[in-house]
Structure 1
Amino acid sequence: MIDDYRVTKYCPLVEDLRAKKQCVVDKIKSVYPRAKDMHAYIKVNEGPYKIEFMKAYNCKCSYCGASIDILPKEMFEIDHFINEKSFNKKADAGFIENLVLACHSCNHRKNAFRLPENDRKFIYPDTEEIKDTFKRDEQYYIIISEELSSNETVKNFYKTLGLEGEIHRLDYLLMNMIGLQRTLKDKPEAYAKFGQAIDMLRMKRNMM
Structure 2
Amino acid sequence: MNNDFRLPENCHDFDKITAKKHDLAEYIGKSYPKIKNHYSAYLNHKDLRAYFHQVYNYRCSYCGTSISILNIHDLELDHFLCKKIGKEDKALQLQLNQTKNLVLSCRMCNRNKSNLLIPEEYRKILHPDHDHIKSIFVRDNYFRIQISSRYRTNPFIIQFYKKLKLGHYIHQLDFLITEIDSLADSSVISPTIRGLLAQTANQLRQKRNLINY
Q: TM-score, normalised by structure 2?
A: 0.90
Partner of residue 162, structure 1: 165
Say whether the 8 Å CA contact 1:181–1:191 is kept in structure 2: yes
- How many angstroms apart in 1 are the aligned matches of 2:100 and 2:26? 14
Distance 2:125 2:157 in 1: 7
The AA in structure 1 aligned to 2:137 is: F
Aligned residues of 1:43 and 1:77 also touching (Cα < 8 A): no
Which stretch of structure 1 is more off in the superposition, 73-82 or 119-128?
A: 119-128
In the alignment, structure 2 segments of 5+ residues that lack a partner are: none
- Show the counterpart of 1:67: 66
C-alpha separation in 2, matches of 1:118 and 1:178: 38
Q: What is the CA-CA distance between 1:184 and the residue it aligns to?
A: 4.5
- Distance (Å, rounded) in 2 between the aligned partners of 1:73 and 1:12: 20
Report the aligned-residue RMSD.
Answer: 1.9
Q: Which residue of 1 is the match for residue 126 of structure 2?
A: 123
**Mapping 1:8-157, distance limit 5 Å:** 8-44=8-44, 47-88=46-87, 92-157=95-160
Structure 1, residues 33-69: CA drift from partner, whole Å, max 9, x if none? Answer: 122211111235x701122112211211110110111
Is the CA contact (8 Å cut-off) linking 2:95 and 2:101 kept in structure 1?
no
Q: When the two structures are aligned, how many residues end up with a matched partner?
A: 207
CA distance in 2, matches of 1:43, 1:170: 30
Q: How big is the shift at 1:207?
A: 0.8
Mapped partners of 1:109, 1:150: distance in 2: 21
Please tell me whether the aligned partners of residues 185 and 191 of structure 1 are also in contact (alpha carbons under 8 angstroms).
no
> SS of the counterpart of 2:133?
helix
> Runs in 1 of length 4+ with deviation above 4 angstroms?
88-92
TM-score (norm 1): 0.92
Q: 1:155 to 1:186 in 2, by over 3 A?
A: closer
**Structure 1 residues 197-206 or 47-56, which shifts more?**
47-56
Q: CA offsets, 1:87-127, max 9 Å, x none?
A: 15866411111111100000011010010111222311011
Conserved in 2, the CA contact under 8 Å of 1:62 and 1:125? yes
Give secondary structure in 1 for the equivalent of 2:47.
Answer: coil
The answer to whether the Cα contact below 8 Å between 1:135 and 1:142 also exists between their aligned partners in 2 is: yes
| Secondary structure, aligned partner of 1:6 | coil
